[in-house]
Amino acid sequence: KPGAKPIGEIKGDVVFDSVEFSYVPGVPVLKNMSFHAQPGQIVALVGPTGAGKTTIVNVLGRFYDIQDGSIRVDGVDIREVMRWSLRKQLGTVLQDNFLFADTVMENIRYGNPAATDEDCIKAATLANADQWITRLPKGYGTMLSERGSNLSQGQRQLLAIARAVVTDPKILILDEATSNVDTRTEAKIQEALLRLMEKRTSFVIAHRLSTIRKADQVLVIRDGEIVERGTHDSLLMVKGFYYNLYKSQFRGTETG
């Protein structure tokens, strides 16, 4: 908007207040969406494909503007602030992350161009990536091929986490990053993600429900609406939509 100002340093308090959004007029994707994520909380977004989980994080980053309701960060309507100042405070780890044909060091530094080499190495260490990076032919100076195709899927995910760490965001968006990796690598990624989430407001789009047991609140999204909300344990006790979703994932793998 004319006169929009940078948002400045934030704590990470996020409120969706009766949010309505459509990509195509007349076809609502988010309907009367309301929730409050307090600074440092982990909020898991759960539900079937096409339910609106990714749309929630897209409108939070203002890749699209909502049609009705409001989204407030630290009490400020995000339509009143400059987009770059908002996105600067968001860290994102997606399922498929883009890596450039450049060195490992520069791929990490992409998250924060002002970061020193020492900052990047610290970030890689926190992301469980330093150990295998130092074993590469030229360590942090090793050139990656386009999209990082000379790395494994797990290594690409750990680099993306390092990139998010070096950004030092106040709000994290994690589109669960553990698909197509072996169990040992998945454990390393989960450990790195938990470190990354400490003291940050985190939105986790969860596909594997076993990973969200520690979430402060679970929002179950169906057809663009929140149909259930609570903790992992409280939602299992209700034996509703989340319970059935959870049981269908683990049928045959655990008892009770």
Q: Tell me if residue 68 falls in helix, strand or coil.
A: strand
pLDDT at site 109: 95
Tokens of 190: 């989960």
**Secondary structure E strands in 115-240:** 171-175, 201-205, 217-222, 225-230
Half-sphere exposure of 72 (CA within 13 A, CB side): 13
CA–CA distance, 84 with 165 (Å, rounded to integer): 18
Q: Residues with Cβ < 8 Å from 134, sequence gap 6 or more?
A: 140
Q: What is the pLDDT along the chain (256 residues), one digit of tens a residue?
A: 788 899 988 999 999 999 999 999 999 999 999 999 999 999 999 998 889 999 999 999 999 999 999 999 999 999 999 999 999 899 888 877 788 899 999 999 998 999 999 999 999 999 999 999 999 999 999 999 877 778 888 888 899 999 999 998 999 998 866 656 677 777 888 888 888 888 899 999 877 776 688 899 999 999 999 999 999 999 999 999 999 988 887 664 444 3
Minimal CA–CA distance to 133: which of 109, 103, 168? 103
- Cα→Cα distances 107→116, 158, 166, Å: 13, 12, 11
Q: Tell me if residue 178 falls in helix, strand or coil.
A: coil
The DSSP H or E segment spanning 20 is strand 14-24
CA–CA distance, 68 with 190 (Å, rounded to integer): 36
CB of 45 closer than 8 Å to CB of 229: no
CB of 14 closer than 8 Å to CB of 70: no
